[in-house]
Amino acid sequence: MKPLLIPLLVCVLTVPAHAGELPPWASAADIRELAPGEKGLWQEADEFDRALVRAGKVNDDPVLTAYLKGIMDRLYPEFGGRLKVRLLNAPQINAFALPNGSIYVNAGLVARFENEAQLATVLAHEGAHFTHRHSLQQAERVKNAAAFALVVGMLGVPLVGDIVALSSMFGYSREHEREADEIGYQRLIAAGYAPRESIRTFEHLQAEIKAADINEPFFFASHPKLQERIDNFSALAKDANSGETARERFIETTARLRLDSLEADLAAYRYKQIILILGKPESRSDYPAEASYYLGEAYRQRNESGDLDAAEREFNRVIETVPQFAPVYRALGLLHYKRGDTARAAALLRRYLDLAPTAADRGYVEYYLATMNQHGAPEAAPSASP
């Protein structure tokens, strides 16, 4: 679907002089009349919500939607659904809150968590930006068009007007972020989650960003801001007691999403992230057996010394455990094709077509099968990603 473009508003919204004095909302019942300037922010946020849906950016899976709603309602029960959590089909490590109570969390971020308590840490933090009306108090504004270009590149839908500065996408002031950390932490404890997971949440993200050399100018891909989260939560949780991580529920509910995230990373050649995640035995156990296919393809894409052998091992592991998973036969067949072993390659590619008779690349695979039958392997073997 082509991205939907929204005309950018050129007006600069004025923050009321008393914005910093506005009390936080105590419950959904408090949200009756908006302060001067706040109504315009909400209208822009509502339009952005609709634009994301029209552009096909929102994942509307009913199970995942209900799961996220359940966590937010557990964290903010007195707001009774006023905080709406939406899952974005985006691989970047990010989450943000809009002034109207829409909380967005990227699929790429959810896929990086280890349990529900870590996901709840981020949702509690973002929810606090809404309940304490940080968007209205935010002093900074978009200073040039470059910020809009970044948003277009990330989502394909430019943010309307000042929403880019007044959402938490690029982070609030340090004072507001610290306040959101403190409020979010108290919400975690009240909801019964393990408070020390709040530290692990951001340590985990920071380790991946450093190892994979991620350089995305968004909130959860910013080293200084991540370090601030770690420092703040470390101080808050120094005397923390135990609580629920809800690991099994998280792993089961997000299994498909995490596989889809691996596929998105593979399509974007983000092989470093895949190897970092699945290369650790403790992380591998969180994923279905098919995940070894994506690890094998990541090794193949990286193509360093020994990587093709590692890829072959991963592909064979999938065939042994999930023999009906069609893509792995294609990948392993093309790997042997590249090596010149046409007999094994042909058998694997035929098996792929048997399992996926309506595959979009059927003509491509049949062409190379015909080539092998007539001439053997040509000098230039095809890549595994035509």
141-180 pLDDT, tens digit each: 433 334 444 444 455 554 444 444 444 555 567 788 889 9
**Are 157 and 266 members of one domain?**
no
Choose among 349, 288, 352: nearest CA to 321: 288
How far apart are alpha carbons 16 and 40 in whole angstroms?
Answer: 12
Residue 206 lies in a domain: yes
CATH of the domain at 272: 1.25.40.10
Residue 217 clears pLDDT 90, i.e. is over it:
no
- Would you place residue 376 in the very low, low, confident or very high pLDDT band (cuts 50, 70, 90)? low
pLDDT of 181 > 50? The answer is yes
Position 222 in a domain = yes
Q: Is 128 found in the same domain as 75?
A: yes
Nearest to 126 by CA among 93, 92, 103, 94: 103
What percentage of the chain exceeds 70 in pLDDT?
79
Give dist(CA 372, CA 337) in Å, integer: 9
Nearest to 250 by CA among 58, 63, 59, 61: 63
What is the rounded distance in angstroms from the CA atom of residue 86 to the CA atom of residue 66?
A: 10
Task: Look at 159 and 375; give whichever has higher pLDDT.
Answer: 375
How far is CA 291 from each of CA 277, 298, 325, 378, rounded to the nearest angstrom? Answer: 10, 11, 11, 31
Instruction: For residues 259 and 243, state if they share a domain.
Output: no
Residue 158 lies in a domain: yes
Model's pTM, two decimal places?
Answer: 0.82
CB-based contact 326:359 (threshold 8 Å): yes
Do residues 99 and 166 both lie within one domain?
yes
Is 12 part of a structural domain of the chain? no
CB-count burial class (<10 Å; 0-12, 13-18, 19+) for 159: buried
As a whole number of angstroms, the distance between CA 264 and CA 255 comes to: 14
The H or E element spanning position 39 is helix 38-54
Q: Are 316 and 335 in contact (CB under 8 A)?
A: no
Which residues form the domain of 89? 31-248
40 shares a domain with 141: yes
Rounded average pLDDT over 3-14: 32
Sequence length of the chain is: 386
pLDDT of 137: 67
- Do 225 and 355 reside in the same domain of the chain? no
CA distance 54 to 58: 9
Task: Look at the chain and report how many structural domains it folds into.
Answer: 2
For residue 193, list its beta bridge partners. Answer: 244
What pLDDT was estimated at residue 21?
63
61 is a domain residue: yes
pLDDT the model gives residue 213 = 77
Mean pLDDT of 338-362: 94
136 and 263 fall within a common domain: no
Residue with token string 């923390």: 240
Beta-sheet strands, E only, within 79-189: 84-88, 95-97, 102-106
Do 201 and 66 sit in the same domain of this protein? yes
Is residue 126 within 8 A of residue 97, CB to CB? The reply is: yes
Tell whether 314 and 175 lie within a shared domain. no
Regarding whether 266 and 192 lie in a shared domain, the answer is: no
41: left (phi over 0), alpha (psi -120 to 50) or beta: alpha
The overall average pLDDT reported for the chain is 82
Instruction: List phi, psi (to 5°) of 210.
Output: -70, -45
**Distance of alpha carbon 336 from the chain centroid:** 34
Query: What's residue 167's pLDDT?
Result: 47
Does residue 59 surpass a pLDDT of 70? yes
**Per-residue pLDDT tens digits for 252-306:** 999 999 999 999 999 988 888 899 889 888 788 889 999 999 999 999 989 899 9
Last residue of a domain, one of 209, 231, 248: 248
Which tokens in the block code for residue 136?
Answer: 């209205």
DSSP string, 248-306: HHHHHHTHHHHHHHHHHHHHTT-HHHHHHHHTSHHHHTTS-TTHHHHHHHHHHHH--TT
Nearest residue to 364 (alpha-carbon basis) of 341, 382, 340? 382
Q: What is the pLDDT of residues 9-23, one digit of tens each?
A: 223 333 444 445 678
> Does residue 82 lie in a domain region?
yes
- The domain boundary residue, chosen from 248, 274, 299: 248
- Rounded to an integer, the average pLDDT of 12-36 is 68
In a domain, 22, yes or no: no
Q: Among 196, 221, 248, give the residue marking a domain's end.
A: 248
- Residue 76 counted as domain residue: yes
Q: Give the pLDDT score at 156.
A: 52
- Are 230 and 273 in a shared domain? no
What is the Rg, in whole angstroms, of the alpha carbon atoms belonging to the chain?
24
Residue 208: per-residue pLDDT: 80
Are residues 68 and 187 located together in one domain of the fold? yes
User: ∠ at Cα 69 (66, 70), nearest 5°?
Assistant: 85
Q: What is the pLDDT of residues 186-214, one digit of tens each?
A: 999 999 999 999 999 988 888 888 877 77
Nearest C-alpha neighbor of 171 from the set 121, 134, 212: 134
